[in-house]
Amino acid sequence: MSNSNKKGKKNRPPRKKSSAPLKAAGQRSTGKLFYLALPLIPVLFFVVLELGLRIFGYGYDYTMWVSPVTEALKPNGVDYTTEAGPAGKIFILNPDIAHKYFHNVQDMPESDGDAFQKVKSSNAFRVFILGGSAAAGFPFLPNGSFSRYLQERLSLEYPDSKIEVVNCAMTAINSYALRDFMSGILAEKPDLIIIYAGNNEYYGALGVGSLESFGTSRDLVNLVIYLEQFRTFQLLRNVIQGLTGLFRQKKVPTGTLMSRMARNQYITLGSKVYEEGITQFKGNMTDILKMAKRRNVPVMLGTLACNLKDQYPFISVSENGLPRADTVFMQARRELARKDYHTADSLFRYAKDLDALRFRAPTAINEVISKLGNGFKYPVANIDSAFDAISPDHIVGDNLMTDHLHPTLRGYQIMGRLFYHEMEEAHLLPGTRPLGLTDRQQDSITVADFPFCRLDSVISEYLIKKLKNDWPYVSEANRIPSSKLFDPKDYIDSLAYDVAMGRMRWEASHKEASLWYDSRGDMNSFARIMDVLINQYPYTMVSYDFAVTELLKAKDYNRAYYFLIKRNQLQANAFSEKWIGAIDLVNLRVDSAMSHLEASIKYNDGDAQVWYYLSEAYIGKKDYQRALQAIERALSLQPNFPIAAELEAQLKATLGVK
């Protein structure tokens, strides 16, 4: 080889290494990442969609507890907003929560709107009530339920405890909604949960025989309830409903919620759907009690009472070799006429179980309740047997029932008493010192002071008339027109009619009634209806202030003082402290007067009248120097204050001041 060739080889540029293998490796990595990320794309899409729907306010927010802090949020028509009021410090059940379970009915049910403090105080005793319309107190809504009796009686006997009885019951819900409520309730540190439920198990929202049913699979229904919290799921459901609605004949639903939910679904004793309803109830209730047991929260159950003697079976059929319900019912009446009460009771119960329209819970539901109570070691109040025991012939009828299963007002009070006794027996009462009243005294005072008025009575009367003027009590053809069914005699009756027909809220009707009584100078009725309003919605400060202002105008100082004390316990301000002090001064409670008037000045030191009253209080304590200083302050704020000028002159003379 020549030197030139060698030189040529030396001068040749080095050959570059091929990058093809590196590129191939990079492409393989990118490909792997792409395939790994591919499944995340739809997830990311739904996350973005969910966030977008929430940002733009689509659908419902199903947060269980909400604070009524804005003018826009007026649950049950109640305005909780006040200047520096406690609205932001309290929780109520989300007014939209029913939309989670109802999608095919109008006029969604609501809870009683009971409020409780966000931060549980050290002396608080907190009870939650769960159930359907009978637990909510129909037709005496919202203030005639057994929960209201418990609230009043516990507050009476345990004055040092902050009693919070929160009724979460609603018309037409069943164990599915109750199960869904449990996690939210358990998070709020309950001292006791009382459950009175089971009558709505078939026709209540999502029940096996309901208009709202998703089928008989508990797992599927509970999954759907869980998914309802996502706006994306709500959107999907609404789209599907909209598309299927295009192919349905549109018909505006009429009648009561009870009649609309049942869907004319007859369920015979022992049928497949009947057994599925029992299984549904047992499964959901078992889940509920397990949740409570894990958190060590006491639960009390109640067996279900209904109208046996005076409620003719709604639907009688003859299937599977079983007798007709109406035949058995008439046989029960014959045995009753013969005074064979035991046989009559058994037959009335059998007739109820045979009734193919399952508005009254079958005996099997009560058996499940008793077995679950025993199995989980939770107390059971035997409402059913207790109602029988105090009824004529020892069989429940119209004596304690307004219709097929909703108790009378006294019936609800008796229920409250029975639950109270069971709480006492199970040592589930507040830990503070009791007042020491006897059982009879507690009950009689609670009933005598029960927050209920004439307007409430007429509303409940009209609601029952409306209920019994609809299917299944009467056919659509036999309904009586409202103009003939109702005959309002005065303004209070007219307000009750508007409430019963859904034209006015309960709270608004009571405000209107209070104005009417006030304008007529009927301060007894005015004070009564304001007491009802305040007992139901104790955190609405405007109600206290309105009641006090009008009673002070009428010189009804004792009643004004009652409302002032209640208001001051919740949220003191210059107004309440001033008038408590002034009334104390008139009644020669000088120390208390001085304390409250000085407290009023801390809120507002620019009220000449407060300084005048305070001067009078100092005189009562013979502290003339401070009295003079106070009256001089009053005159500096309001020079044209004749009685203040007179008092100043007297004080200067007493002190020898020129």
pLDDT of 81: 46
| Same domain assignment for residues 293 and 405 | yes
Taking CA 635 as the corner, what is the angle to CA 633 and CA 637, rounded to the nearest 5 degrees?
75
Tokens representing residue 233 in the block: 């799921």
pLDDT of 273: 93
pLDDT of 70: 41
Q: How far apart are CA 414 and CA 192, in angstroms?
A: 19
Residues in the chain: 658
Q: How far apart are CA 56 and CA 221, in angstroms?
A: 28
The domain boundary, picked from 407, 434, 450, lies at 450
Q: What total of structural domains would you count in the chain?
A: 3
Q: Which of 615, 614, 605, 595 has its CA nearest to residue 637?
A: 605
Tokens representing residue 330 in the block: 């008439």
Q: In the structure, how many helices (H) and strands (E) does the chain have?
A: 28, 8
The domain boundary, picked from 303, 329, 354, lies at 354
Output the CA torsion sign for 39, 40, 42, 43: positive
Q: Is residue 343 part of a domain?
A: yes
541 in Cβ contact with 521 (< 8 Å) = no
Q: Is residue 290 part of a domain?
A: yes
Domain range for 337: 316-354
CB atoms within 10 A of CB 331: 17
The residues, any chain, with a CB within 8 Å of residue 84's CB and separated by 6 or more, are 571, 573
Q: How far apart are CA 556 and CA 558, in angstroms?
A: 6
CATH number at residue 539: 1.25.40.10
Output the CA torsion sign for 227, 230, 233, 238: positive
pTM recorded for the entire structure:
0.89
Q: Is residue 618 part of a domain?
A: yes
The residues, any chain, with a CB within 8 Å of residue 351's CB and separated by 6 or more, are 313, 325, 326, 328, 329, 332
| Same domain assignment for residues 194 and 322 | no
Buried b vs exposed e over 407-440: b needs ≥16 C-beta within 10 Å? bbbebbbbbbbbbbebbeeeebbbeeeeeeeeee
534 in Cβ contact with 563 (< 8 Å) = yes
| Same domain assignment for residues 441 and 554 | no
| Same domain assignment for residues 284 and 342 | no
Q: How far apart are CA 348 and CA 307, in angstroms?
A: 9
The domain boundary, picked from 302, 325, 354, lies at 354
pLDDT of 588: 95
CA 232 to chain centre: 28
Q: How far apart are CA 549 and CA 531, in angstroms?
A: 14
Q: Is residue 580 part of a domain?
A: yes
Q: How far apart are CA 359 and CA 479, in angstroms?
A: 20
CB atoms within 10 A of CB 499: 24
The DSSP line for 287-328 is HHHHHHHHTT--EEEEPPP---SS---S-----TTPPPHHHH
CATH number at residue 90: 3.40.50.1110
The DSSP line for 251-296 is ----S-HHHHHHTT----TTSHHHHHHHHHHHHHHHHHHHHHHHTT
Q: How far apart are CA 547 and CA 605, in angstroms?
A: 24
SS3 65: strand
| Same domain assignment for residues 366 and 294 | yes
SS3 126: strand
| Same domain assignment for residues 252 and 323 | no
Q: How far apart are CA 167 and CA 615, in angstroms?
A: 47
Burial class (CB in 10 A: 0-12, 13-18, 19+), 37: exposed
Buried b vs exposed e over 193-229: b needs ≥16 C-beta within 10 Å? bbbbbbbbbbbbbbbbbbbbbbebebeebbebbeebe
Q: Which of 377, 379, 172 has its CA nearest to residue 293?
A: 377
| Same domain assignment for residues 444 and 538 | no
Q: Is residue 19 part of a domain?
A: no
pLDDT of 1: 44
pLDDT of 308: 98
The residues, any chain, with a CB within 8 Å of residue 452's CB and separated by 6 or more, are 140, 143, 144, 409, 532
Q: Is residue 12 part of a domain?
A: no
| Same domain assignment for residues 421 and 557 | no
| Same domain assignment for residues 475 and 565 | yes
Mean pLDDT by 10 residues, the chain (658 residues): 47 55 58 65 75 88 83 47 61 94 84 93 97 97 96 98 97 96 98 97 91 84 94 88 65 58 78 95 98 98 98 93 96 98 98 96 98 98 98 97 98 98 98 97 97 97 95 90 94 97 94 97 97 94 94 97 95 96 96 97 96 96 95 96 94 87
Q: Is residue 144 part of a domain?
A: yes
pLDDT of 450: 96
pLDDT of 82: 45
Q: How far apart are CA 308 and CA 329, in angstroms?
A: 9
| Same domain assignment for residues 308 and 322 | no
| Same domain assignment for residues 328 and 291 | no
Q: How far apart are CA 482 and CA 464, in angstroms?
A: 13
404 in Cβ contact with 307 (< 8 Å) = yes
564 in Cβ contact with 548 (< 8 Å) = yes
| Same domain assignment for residues 405 and 416 | yes
Q: Which of 345, 363, 351, 348 has its CA nearest to residue 277?
A: 363
Q: Which of 314, 274, 492, 531 has its CA nearest to residue 403?
A: 314
